[in-house]
Amino acid sequence: MYMNGRNLRNLKKAVAVIGIGAMGLGVFGCGSEKQEAVEIPNLTSAVLNDSTVTADSHFANQAQVVKSLEEELAKKPKLDNPFVALDPFHIAPLSAVAVFVTDEPSQITVRVEGKDEFTAIEHTFAGFGKQHMVPIYGLYADTANKVTVTAVTQSGNSTVKDLEIKTDVLPEDISKSEVKVKQADKMAVGLTFVDCPHVNGNYMLAVDANGDIRWYLSEKKYNGSVMLTHLKNGNMLISNGEPIPNTYNNLPTVFEISPLGKVVAAYNVYGIHHDIREMENGNLLFAASKEGRDSQNDYIVEVDRKTGKAVKEWDLKEILPMTAYEAKKPYIGGTSNWFHNNAIWYNEAKKEFVVSGRHQNAVLKFDADTKQIKWILSKTIGDSNENLRKYMLKPVGDDFEYPTAQHAAMEMPDGRIMLFDNTNFDIVDASGNLLQDRLYSRAVIYEIDEKNMTVRQVWEYGKERGRDLYSSFISDVDYLGQEHYLLDFGGKYIADDGSVYDHMYTKKDIKNKSKRQSTIIELLNGEVVWELDLLGNSNSNTYKAERKDIYQGI
């Protein structure tokens, strides 16, 4: 529903697909006065691996939607009565697009009013044009949203249009949120995006400082496994919803999609899992598996963004020669999932990788060209691998702890290593019962001296809160700035009596009946400035959390 516009759903009822956004919508001129695209790149751009996209039932007809929008644009609606489409492609219900023309080349600003000064979402698009397709992000659900569109000419004259865009209620089974701490003036700008660790488990969504959902994907199948990879152009990568059989949620394909839902590329790489990184040249680094062999989650592939073809590969079996490629107990990966790489970090200046092997309790750095190991942060990997001991870092200083079952290893701008330490070792008694007073998870920062091969623990958060933040699997850390971090304790299992369960040690039927929750914390100079619980859904666990400007890149 909406006011002051016409609805695309009524125009093309037969077109029930996805569409529009960065790399997908554009701003156009007419005849000899054609303007360059200014709000977002041209919607007629070719879709990489289009046959893969059109084979997906939800995305099959997105070209028809784009054509319909072009037809509306050709009618030259003015800003005083624009064509407005709410979620025209039925996957991003809290987004819309406004289509209109201006008599003079104009720069466009869009503003969605918030509930307070910190939750309004405003964006000014670069450049000037006469024909406009303007994405509107961050609407509230079940609300008559006030949206202001402003067009400013090169001479400074402005035209303002107020729109009212009505939205539907949220799905009943979407996660709920509770904000425990909020100092909005100290928070990093943007929405907090979260995802679910498994395909079809929950909705990918984004919340504001008040915990209100301001964006979500309405199709669960596209969530899970490798999500929340935001790209510089504002797009994100989503699952194709079809894990490869007999793998640990490995995918054959991911889609690059805009916040409005327009798919611009499909990347077909065998065994995509856990993490994807964008390089400076636009290429993508995938945590992957190698097709045709008996192990998984132990490969890295660089894919050319323009062609979709693999251009480089790194085999972690080759890089990390071990006596036996077998998961360390109590992990059940055996020889198949022996390493379980859950993080990729690439330093392009030094051409060095940092990766995280959960099933070896090991984080290591290696040279991308020579594939030579630089160091290994692990307490146990040298126990049965004497050849690796020379690479193992020696702890120095007080209060040092090795990470176990870690996730999200990254190199900070100053070279220190930050990661999420799940810490699920030495937490059960002789009968296999969880020792509740030993349970904690933490974000931790290590300082590494590569010359002397030493490691010092310099910071941690979470241990002091004990089992309340115990997150036995998944979870995330993000660097927002100097002494500014976003932490996702995303793998919590909570029993009715307040005790907690563990991903490995608790029987599946018991833990899956528990409250599966997440706690997301923003820290600035050691102070909690925002804390939010996601709960209320059968699965409100989150694999990653990221703070992003939803208009990033456009």
527 pairs with which residues across the strands?
524
pLDDT of residue 248: 87
Question: Is residue 520 situated within a structural domain?
Answer: no
pLDDT at 28 over 80: no
Q: Residue 26: which pLDDT band, with cuts at 50, 70 and 90?
A: very low
pLDDT at 44 over 90: no
Question: Is residue 288 situated within a structural domain?
Answer: no
Task: Provide mean pLDDT across the span 73-94.
Answer: 95
Question: Is residue 110 situated within a structural domain?
Answer: yes
DSSP string, 10-50: HH-TT------STTT------GGGPPPP-SS--TTPPPBTH
Task: Provide mean pLDDT across the span 211-228.
Answer: 84
Question: Is residue 384 situated within a structural domain?
Answer: yes
Across the chain, what does the average pLDDT equal? 89
Closest alpha carbon to 344 in 282, 391, 298, 280: 298
pLDDT of residue 7: 52
pLDDT of residue 57: 87
Q: d(Cα 473, Cα 478) in Å, to the nearest integer?
A: 17
pLDDT of residue 25: 44
CATH of the domain at 152: 2.60.40.3100
pLDDT in tens, 256-300: 999 999 999 999 999 999 999 999 999 999 999 999 999 999 999
Cα–Cα distances in Å, from 277 out to 250, 282, 554? 17, 10, 20
- The residue from 471, 496, 531 where one domain ends is 471
Per the document, the length of the chain is 554
Cα–Cα distances in Å, from 282 out to 23, 269, 299, 432? 14, 16, 20, 48
Question: Is residue 356 situated within a structural domain?
Answer: yes
pLDDT of residue 391: 98
pLDDT in tens, 415-444: 999 999 999 888 999 888 999 999 999 999
Task: Provide mean pLDDT across the span 373-381.
Answer: 96
**Boundaries of domain holding 104:** 50-167
Q: Is 391 helix (H, G, I), strand (E, B) or coil?
A: helix
501 pairs with which residues across the strands?
493
pLDDT of residue 88: 86
Q: Residue 19: which pLDDT band, with cuts at 50, 70 and 90?
A: very low
Task: Provide mean pLDDT across the span 28-43.
Answer: 37
Question: Is residue 156 situated within a structural domain?
Answer: yes
pLDDT at 180 over 70: yes
pLDDT in tens, 95-135: 999 999 999 999 999 999 999 999 999 999 999 999 999 99
Quick one: tokens of 159?
């035209």
Q: d(Cα 138, Cα 118) in Å, to the nearest integer?
A: 13
H or E stretch covering 51: helix 50-54
Q: Residue 224: which pLDDT band, with cuts at 50, 70 and 90?
A: low
Contact 384, 323 (CB under 8 A): yes
Q: How many domains does the chain have?
A: 2
Q: Are strands 191-194 and 545-548 parallel, antiparallel or unpaired?
A: antiparallel
pLDDT of residue 33: 38
Question: Is residue 294 situated within a structural domain?
Answer: no
pLDDT at 199 over 80: no
pLDDT in tens, 496-509: 999 999 988 998 88
pLDDT of residue 82: 98
Q: d(Cα 100, Cα 27) in Å, to the nearest integer?
A: 10
- The residue from 120, 138, 167 where one domain ends is 167
Contact 478, 545 (CB under 8 A): yes
pLDDT of residue 68: 93
Quick one: tokens of 527?
């102070």
Helix, strand, coil % (nearest 5) of the chain? 10, 40, 50
- The residue from 440, 471, 502 where one domain ends is 471
pLDDT at 235 over 90: yes
pLDDT of residue 220: 86
Q: d(Cα 445, Cα 438) in Å, to the nearest integer?
A: 21
Task: Provide mean pLDDT across the span 392-409.
Answer: 96
Task: Provide mean pLDDT across the span 150-161.
Answer: 98
pTM: 0.93
Task: Provide mean pLDDT across the span 165-194.
Answer: 97
Residues 6+ apart with CB under 8 A from 441: 420, 421, 422, 423, 462, 469, 470, 471, 472, 475, 489
Task: Provide mean pLDDT across the span 227-232.
Answer: 84
